[in-house]
Chain A
Amino acid sequence: MKTKQSKWLAMPFTVWGIVFILIPLFMIFYYGLIDSEKHFTLANITAIAEPEHLKALGLSILLSLIATIICLVLAYPLAMILSRLGINQNSFIVLIFILPMWMNFLLRTLAWQTLLEKTGVINSILHFLHLPSLNIINTPYAIVLGMVYNFLPFMVLPIYNSLIKLDADVINAARDLGANGIQTFTKVIFPLTIPGVISGITMVFIPALTTFVISNLLGGSKILLIGNVIEQEFTQASNWNLGSGLSLVMMIFIIINMAASAVFDKDGEGGMM
């Protein structure tokens, strides 16, 4: 495969990427750096310092961090259990996690409304069992729940993949050399699955940070996240410049995340599959 000719095969993607990835990104920069009279300005970027925006951004970071941590804590043991089930069920397990995505994302999130409402399914069951009711709809808790629900598969799959790729001999060697279960995990298994973990964190944190649908549907629109602010600037306030400027600020987090994956996952091994 080390032939020079095969390089031209990268051409379609290079062209496609420039036209549909880089130029659109440039458009965001362009809109973010001008005002409505098309004069250059930094005001749309510095607008992030306004208290409402800062608070929305802070809350977004907080909630998506919590959701990411919960996803990680839930997903890692799950991936370990699943990885021991044997390799022949590989594709089936992956599909079981992708399957819910075939029910529309909006419908799935709306279904949580039906489950969580004051008179919803869960509370009816709790009431029937004479247990105290669960009042988390329209609070940040419901938003975190929605994030965990929607993005958990994106955490499970990469971790599961790094786990099944682990060489059993490495683990056996650790055991032979006298490491106990915990030591084997902390010294051998976990470090070897870090690319998967990083990939999972990225796949959960970024969409959670930027969501606006989940906070609208499960937060009763009472909680303003940075995604909601940007969405509203585009769809309600018709202020594309401010919306683009704030999107640029959000990209900083994405760049930080990319840099982090580059450090921890040099070979790009933490894949979804």
Chain B
Amino acid sequence: MKRFIERFYVAIIFIFLYAPIVTLIVLSFNSSRTRAKWGGFTTHWYSELFKNDAIMQALYNTIFIAIVSSVIATLIGTITCIALNNMKARPKNLLLGMNNIPMLNADIVTGISLMLLFISFGFRFGMQTILLAHITFNIPYVILNVMPKFKQLNPNTYEAALDLGASPVYAFFKVIFPDILPGILSGFLMAFTMSLDDFIITHFTKGAGVDTLSTKIYTEVRKGIKPEMYALSTIIFVTVFVLLLIVNISPAKEKQSRKHVSFVRRYSKQFAAAAVALILIIGSVFLFQGKGNQQVIVYNWGEYLDPEVLTMFEEETGIEVVYDEYETNETMYPKVASKAADYDVVCPSDYMIQKMIENGLLAELNYDNIPNVKNIDPDYINQSKDFDPENKYSVPYCVGTVGILYNKTMVDEPVDSWDILWNDKYKDNILMQDSVRDAFMVALKKLGYSMNSSDPKELEEAKQALIDQKPLTQAYVVDQVRDKMIGNEAAIGVIYSGEAIYTKRENPDLEYVIPKEGTNVWIDSWCILKDAPNKENAEKFINFLCRPDIALMNFEYITYSTPNTEARKLIEDDDIRNSTIAFPDLTQYNNLETFQYLGDKTDRIYNNLWKEVKSK
């Protein structure tokens, strides 16, 4: 009976640990693109995966960083342990204390502190900064694994070896090393796993064009995880699992007691040789990847451009594109402002463009080099004057509105006003936007104020409205509105128009409206940075994106509306070409506004009010 209870208990814990893993594996065979819906069995994503260069590159980076950082950390950590073993208590405790800091410090603090270091001392962000950061947080895992092995050593064996004429180095490798090897290996494994799994620290220390799987996934969270990612995770998981089984089963014939050690010891030279070879190969590929003479460094939103377009641009112009992604305007800004990486082209939103203009970060565009700008709808060029008064700095790329998406089967009254988001009837069925300005836009518009208000009284009222609304909301989300609405998780959600077309296609019960009180017309535009090292290439790049066929490719890939009128004419599907969601007639609506930069002080007021809402 006792045995049964024990087994049962272990089984329950394992179900708990592995349930999400199984879920992910199942999702990798789901033919529907959204995780909210089961569309039938497919292995399509597995073949897609190997065609996806961006994911394969991220995988390569992840493994490269994990191997190099854990090998270096293992070397440093092990020799440190040798030294620590001979130290007096005081310096030893000091070093161990320092060693504990990255272990105990919150990841976010470690990540940010390293970012501040790199920025202050002018490091260039890139692969090398991620490596330095990973080595830093990996060393403690090695030391904590190797130190206990030293404690278990019998000091006499080493003395004996010396007495018998062995040199200290020889004695170390013959006597001590085999005994501490299990500690070194488990330290290495731990470091490797931590490096592989790390997101937060990488997020703060990565540079242009370098993505690991974690940071790639995080940019995808905004727009929904690509099923290829599930497929890749499944492959990694199964590979490791099989390797584990082999390693644990094969040496079973040998003596039980020191099986693990002897197995490793027998093959240690081969292991070492293989590891070194692997690092050399990967390292040389990395070093000789060599940059072409011509390049342009692009910093764009995650999932905001068809990767095929980049390949076409490279083929047509011979200019290499270094491509990097960000999740929000606010994470992009400090990286650009601190000039930690030499970006050429960025794609900020309206109010952020204004902020960057005011802070002198943007270069004036030379429209002679961007003749294709003629394809852009004059309405949007005009609307851009809200943030770029003389149209000197920006070329609109994607545009849209913010509105209400509702499920016709769950909402039975007509929806035409923001007020429905305050209706008790839909308690726990409302999804609000989780960003300061968007949330306040809804509240301010509902109250009949401008969404660019900086009047403390109006803002206070808006805050109160949001606090009143909080008990009714199911969640504050940015990206997941899409999946949750498709999966019938909620009845009403605040959503960007670009997502509306896609969600309607996946779930025909959904309907998108622009409320009568008015809303936000947002514009994301391409800009060139003042310090851009490749300004001419950047202009070529922008011009290329304004070409109708290219704009069409991007529209079909990201489904966000394009202001490119020539591209719109090329759309084959009548429903989409004439869709009032994708291409609203702006003159039909009242009170449409575009976000403006209100200055640091007002920004801070908004943020504080939002914090009050969130903490209620």
Contacts and interface: CB of A to CB of B under 8 A. Distances in A.
B612 A111 contact: no
Nearest to A97: B17
Contacts of B603: 237-238
Interface string A204-244: 00110110110000001110100111111011111110011
Contacts of A269: 148, 151
A31 to B, nearest CB: 6
Nearest to B214: A104
B84 A222 contact: no
A271 B144 contact: yes
Interface in B190-222: 190, 193-194, 196-197, 199-200, 213-214, 217-218, 221
Contacts, number: 302
Interface in B74-92: 76-77, 79-80, 82-87, 91
A247 B116 CA distance: 13
B193 A98 contact: yes
Interface stretch (A76-84, A126-134, A166-174, A186-194): A76-84
A28 to B, nearest CB: 5
Given A14-B95, A91-B248, A229 B611 contact: yes
Contacts of A115: 19-20, 23
A103 B26 CA distance: 14
Nearest to B252: A88
A27 B217 contact: no
B104 A206 contact: yes
Given A52-B612, A106-B218, A271-B147, A117 B108 contact: no
B98 A222 contact: no
Contacts of A213: 199-200
A103 B21 contact: yes
B341 interface: no
A42 interface: no
A90 B155 contact: no
Contact of A21 (B79, B101, B233): B101
A13 B77 contact: yes
Question: Which of A3, A22, A111, A247 has the largest count of B CB atoms less than 10 A from its CB?
Answer: A111
A263 interface: no
A100 B23 CA distance: 12
Contact of A13 (B139, B241, B608): B139
Interface residues of A, number: 107
Contacts of A6: 82-83, 85-86
Interface stretch (B443-451, B474-482, B537-545): B474-482
Contacts of A232: 607, 611
B20 A90 contact: no
Interface in B558-598: none
B99 interface: yes
B289 interface: no
A109 B80 CA distance: 36
A106 B199 contact: yes
Given A1-B158, A77-B9, A106-B217, A222 B106 contact: no
A236 B76 contact: no
A202 interface: yes
Given A220-B474, A236-B607, A27 B82 contact: no
A273 B145 contact: yes
A102 B23 contact: no
Contact of B333 (A109, A207, A238): A238
A2 B612 CA distance: 60
B367 interface: no
Nearest to B152: A165
Interface string B594-616: 00000010011001100110110
Contact of B155 (A1, A12, A239): A1
A250 interface: yes
Contacts of A273: 144-145, 148, 183, 186-187, 190
B139 A27 contact: no
A163 to B, nearest CB: 14
Nearest to A77: B9
B470 A82 contact: no
Nearest to B136: A20
A224 B615 contact: yes
Contacts of B164: none
B80 A12 contact: yes
B468 to A, nearest CB: 14
Contact of A104 (B155, B217, B330): B217
Given A88-B256, A210-B108, A103 B475 contact: no
Contacts of B100: 258
Given A10-B95, A12-B80, A202-B104, A107 B225 contact: yes
Contacts of B86: 1-4, 6-7
Interface in B325-356: 328, 330-331, 333-334
Nearest to A203: B103
B251 to A, nearest CB: 10
Contacts of A74: 13
Nearest to B247: A91
Contact of A236 (B18, B24, B436): B436
A236 B330 contact: yes
B116 A27 contact: yes
A88 B476 contact: no
Contacts of A235: 328, 330-331
A61 interface: no
A49 to B, nearest CB: 14
A96 B193 CA distance: 13
Nearest to B145: A273
B35 interface: yes
B16 A149 contact: yes
Contact of B21 (A4, A108, A114, A138): A108
B240 A107 contact: no
A182 interface: no
B303 to A, nearest CB: 15
Contacts of B611: 52, 224, 229, 232
Contact of B106 (A2, A91, A102, A227): A227
Interface in B3-23: 6, 9-10, 13-14, 16-21, 23
Contact of B27 (A88, A94, A114, A236): A114
6 contacts: A13-B79, A149-B16, A209-B106, A230-B108, A238-B333, A267-B151
Those 4 A-B pairs whose CB atoms lie nearest each other, nearest first: A220-B475, A210-B106, A24-B113, A111-B20
Interface of A: 1-10, 12-14, 16-17, 20-25, 27-28, 31, 36, 51-52, 55-56, 74, 77-78, 81-82, 88-92, 94-115, 117-119, 121, 138, 149, 152-153, 202, 206-207, 209-210, 212-213, 220-222, 224, 227-232, 234-240, 243-244, 247, 250-251, 254, 257-258, 267-269, 271-273
